[in-house]
Amino acid sequence: MPEKKQDARVRYTKMMIRNSLLELLSTKPIAKITVTEICERAGINRATFYAHYSDPSDLLHGLESEIIEDVTHWVRPALTASGTDLKEVLTRLVEYIGENADICSILLSDKGDNSFQTKVVDVIEGQFMSSWASARQLSQEDAEYVYTFVALGSVGLIRKWLADGRKKPASEIADLIIKISNACLLYTSPS
């Protein structure tokens, strides 16, 4: 029984540490954040911080890994299932980002780790690039360029949606991403 209380305390402590990091990331980049600042905001001592993380970057990478794991958990099966509706997958992805706006807006911002955007893009790319390229009659190389353009443009669109306070529903953002992607693909399709 005491073990459960300890687990709850550990979860609470980690939550406070993470929230402190997110608050600090909203004002400055990870390279400028110190363990002392995180500890002061979280109301803990440095030993407690170091019991869970080696430094602020380790904490940030842990947060990123959790998001990537969540996205991977439900996006990969949806993308590999037959009869998958792209709008449904994108809507679910945008909804997930909206539900986790506090962390996603920071991780996708200039103050987050730039490699995070690449990781998010890579989660989806590996699942459907070859079939997507052949369906569009594009070479693998051209498909990779087009995919990168569409994916990073989609990230930019989602960043704007988050910055604007998520005024539009996730389904409208998914529709917009699909429309822009289709327009891009029409332009790049062989004539």
- What mean pLDDT value characterizes the chain? 83
pLDDT at 90: 83
Query: How much of the chain, in percent, has pLDDT values that exceed 70?
Result: 81
Q: What are the tens digits of pLDDT across the range 73-88? A: 767 666 666 556 778 8
Q: Please compute the mean of the pLDDT values over residues 164-171 and round it to a whole number.
A: 94
pLDDT at 1: 45
Q: What are the tens digits of pLDDT across the range 36-61? A: 999 999 999 999 999 999 999 999 99
> CB atoms < 10 A from the CB of 69, how many?
10
- Residue of higher predicted confidence among 123 and 153: 153
Question: Is it the case that residue 186 has pLDDT exceeding 80?
Answer: no
Q: Please compute the mean of the pLDDT values over residues 92-100 and round it to a whole number.
A: 90
**Distance, CA of 174 to CA of 176 (rounded, Å):** 5
